[in-house]
Amino acid sequence: RKKTTINTLQSLYKKQEPITMITAHDFPSAHVADAAGMDMILVGDSLAMVALGMEDTSEVLLEEMILHCRSVARASKGAFTIGDLPMGSYEIAPEQALESAIRVVKEGRVQGIKLEGGMEMAPTIERIVRAGIPVVGHVGLTPQRQNTLGGFRVQGKTTLGALKVLEDAVAVQEAGAFAVVLEAVPAEVASLITQKLRIPTIGIGAGNGCSGQVLVQVDMSGNFPPGRFLPKFVKQYGDVWGESIKAIQNYKSEVKSRAYPAPEHTYPMPPEELIEFDK
């Protein structure tokens, strides 16, 4: 598979062909996403929850993001791969953000970075882009700011709110981001914003009028125990948890009953050698 570049993504956008993006957090989850032909892989800071078992994304460290980026990058042969800047690694100043972005690209081996925020992040995005690192913006619901937003709430539901999301998306575009994630905004708002921008919008909980879509891989593949809460926008395309637990339970019961390992999984010893050994 040929490596997807920023030019490939541009031409998909020009053709109005939806851009496909999915998260990955390690070598196997990136390997399968790349083999399935995803245009983009995101090492999202959602790995704090789905790969590290943390409460929310605020806990994950830059060093941890870099480690996960490194393992994802080794499997991302075709997909254009982006790493999230985690909370605390970019808000202080553009120089701090640039330093973190350089580490994620240089040590994490990904092609670009994503950071959350709109107008207030414009100088930061500009600084990173000027250094030659592609940036994806992220506006609407920005999970790193859940404590300010009052939880995971849909953004832009009022005229004023929608204007704010639009202003943020435009600011991110003017700062030089090559794409912007729109998270949890009404479909009508996301569509209008997409029409007003000249960079692709990647929607998550933002309807089908965006230039592309992104989902968290463990959510869409059903790799979680039954009964877990899922946001409205997630479609579960598989039952990876169900397949895994069936396989592991079968393994367990075959070990307990000695059905496994069977002769075909076992190395035999030549009988004459065995006679000698048994003496």
* Residues forming beta bridges with residue 203, ordered by sequence position: 182, 213
Task: Kindly tell me which of 230 and 275 has the beta carbon lying closer to ligand KIV.
Answer: 230
- Name which position in 4, 20, 29, 46 contacts ligand KIV (CB under 6 A): 46
Taking CA atoms, 259 is separated from 176, 248, 252, 269, in Å, by: 61, 14, 10, 20
Task: Return d(Cα 106, Cα 128) in angstroms, integer.
Answer: 13
Instruction: Supply angle C-alpha 206, 207, 213, rounded to 5.
Output: 75
Task: Kindly tell me which of 166 and 183 has the beta carbon lying closer to ligand KIV.
Answer: 183
Footprint (CB under 5 A) of Na ion, residues 61-120: 84
The binding track of 84-113 with respect to ligand KIV, each residue x by CB under 6 A or -, is: x-----------------------------
Look up 17 and say whether it is catalytic.
no
Task: Return d(Cα 197, Cα 200) in angstroms, integer.
Answer: 7
Task: Kindly tell me which of 52 and 255 has the beta carbon lying closer to ligand KIV.
Answer: 52
Burial class (CB in 10 A: 0-12, 13-18, 19+), 263: exposed
Task: Please choose which of Na ion, ligand KIV, none residue 223 contacts, taking the beta carbon within 5 to 8 angstroms, the exact cut-off set by kind.
Answer: none
Task: Return d(Cα 109, Cα 253) in angstroms, integer.
Answer: 42
Task: Kindly tell me which of 3 and 153 has the beta carbon lying closer to Na ion.
Answer: 153
What is the nearest approach in angstroms of ligand KIV to the Cβ of residue 273?
56
- Name which position in 39, 44, 156, 189 contacts Na ion (CB under 5 A): 44
Asked if 182 interacts with ligand KIV (CB under 6 A), we say no
Task: Kindly tell me which of 39 and 84 has the beta carbon lying closer to ligand KIV.
Answer: 84
From the list 59, 107, 183, 264, the catalytic residue is 183
- Name which position in 12, 141, 185, 214 contacts ligand KIV (CB under 6 A): 214
Task: Return d(Cα 60, Cα 48) in angstroms, integer.
Answer: 6
Task: Return d(Cα 150, Cα 152) in angstroms, integer.
Answer: 7
Q: Nearest residue to ligand KIV, using CB?
A: 44
Pairing relation of β-strands 80-84 and 19-23?
unpaired
Taking CA atoms, 216 is separated from 61, 112, 220, in Å, by: 19, 18, 6
Task: Please choose which of Na ion, ligand KIV, none residue 204 contacts, taking the beta carbon within 5 to 8 angstroms, the exact cut-off set by kind.
Answer: ligand KIV
Task: Please choose which of Na ion, ligand KIV, none residue 221 contacts, taking the beta carbon within 5 to 8 angstroms, the exact cut-off set by kind.
Answer: none
Both structure tokens of 23: 């998260």
- Name which position in 210, 216, 218, 220 contacts ligand KIV (CB under 6 A): 216
- Name which position in 49, 73, 181, 199 contacts ligand KIV (CB under 6 A): 181
* Residues forming beta bridges with residue 180, ordered by sequence position: 137, 201
Question: Would you name the residues annotated as active-site residues?
Answer: 183
> Which spans of this chain sit near ligand KIV (rule: CB under 6 A)?
23, 42, 44-46, 84, 181, 204, 214, 216
> Which spans of this chain sit near Na ion (rule: CB under 5 A)?
44-45, 84
